[in-house]
Amino acid sequence: MGTLSLNQRAALLSVLMLVVGLLIWEAAIPAQKAVEELTEYEILTGAGAPKAGVPPPSQVFAKAWEQLSNPFYDAGPNDKGIGIQIGYSIYRVLTGYFLAALIAIPFGFLIGMSQVAYKAFNPFIQVLRPISPLAWMPLALFIIGDSEASAIFVIFICSIWPMLINTAFGVAGVREDWVNVARTHELGPIKTAFTVILPAAAPTILTGMRISIGIAWLVIVAAEMLVGGTGIGYYVWNEWNNLDLTSVVFSILVIGVVGMLLDAMFGVLQRRVTYAE
């Protein structure tokens, strides 16, 4: 044990917990009786039909294998591969998210540069920020009319606030010494913004972007359950309507893994711009 590094020991423990957890889960699900073992009476009363129940992990793995071996099939509106559904969700999240970044970062920059603007905009931001993004949905559907665009709008509105606030906060908090360095080197406002303020505020801005992508991924599932049609959120709801809990559990896991990957991507970016003082 003593020869293993901290990370190796942690990984070993993780695997152990996973195995134990799966075994408990597997053991906790009562096996369904095979049809041959039923009495004639039971068969007549319908007990032979498969009962809906939480599936054991073995079934989920079988489902995962089946789905992941052919993720992009398309057999009509209610039967598309998991890859296609995830693709739709990611497309919506990224579209809404980058539109939000396009507005939030430059705007946050300007707010952060001016104390007056910071104070003037703050009350509006504080009121709009805690609104559940889904509360915008009816209004979005009415004004925009298109369910696809409305889902993107909901992503946009939920990811804009953390980026806006963090950008403004990061820019406002840039050390005056560094700004003075720019001033004594006669840098113009644009040059100062890009060579001093942006790199100085970048870690805070990236933190905001990372929070936003997390929220956006949380919200897309709920939004797609509402608007329907395509996407991982719709998939979950559709499988619930089919009472296919195996698919529901499988898609829950997929949502988690994709969310983790999105976060990890921003984690890498964040580490790249972080500096030690």
The reply to whether 276 sits near another protein by the rule CB under 8 A is: yes
Q: CB-wise, 41 or 275, nearer to another protein?
A: 275
Determine the Cα–Cα distance for residues 213 and 208; give it in Å rounded to an integer: 9
Of 242, 97, 84, 208, the C-alpha closest to 158 is: 97
Q: CB-wise, 138 or 189, nearer to another protein?
A: 189
Determine the Cα–Cα distance for residues 80 and 174; give it in Å rounded to an integer: 49
The two structure tokens encoding residue 177: 């010494």
Determine the Cα–Cα distance for residues 89 and 170; give it in Å rounded to an integer: 30
The reply to whether 37 sits near another protein by the rule CB under 8 A is: no
3-class DSSP assignment, residue 51: coil
The two structure tokens encoding residue 219: 């919200």
Contact range with another protein by CB under 8 A, out of 68-76, 149-157, 245-253, 268-276: 268-276
The reply to whether 186 sits near another protein by the rule CB under 8 A is: yes
Distance separating the N- and C-terminal Cα atoms of the chain: 37
Q: How far apart are CB 200 and another protein at their closest, in Å? A: 7
Determine the Cα–Cα distance for residues 266 and 257; give it in Å rounded to an integer: 15
Q: CB-wise, 89 or 192, nearer to another protein?
A: 192
Residue selected from 5, 69, 184, 241 as contacting another protein according to rule CB under 8 A: 184
Q: Which of residues 197-236 bind another protein (CB under 8 A)?
A: 199-200, 202
Q: Which of residues 154-183 bind another protein (CB under 8 A)?
A: 177-178, 180-181, 183
Chain positions contacting another protein, by CB under 8 A: 177-178, 180-181, 183-187, 195-196, 199-200, 202, 273, 275-277
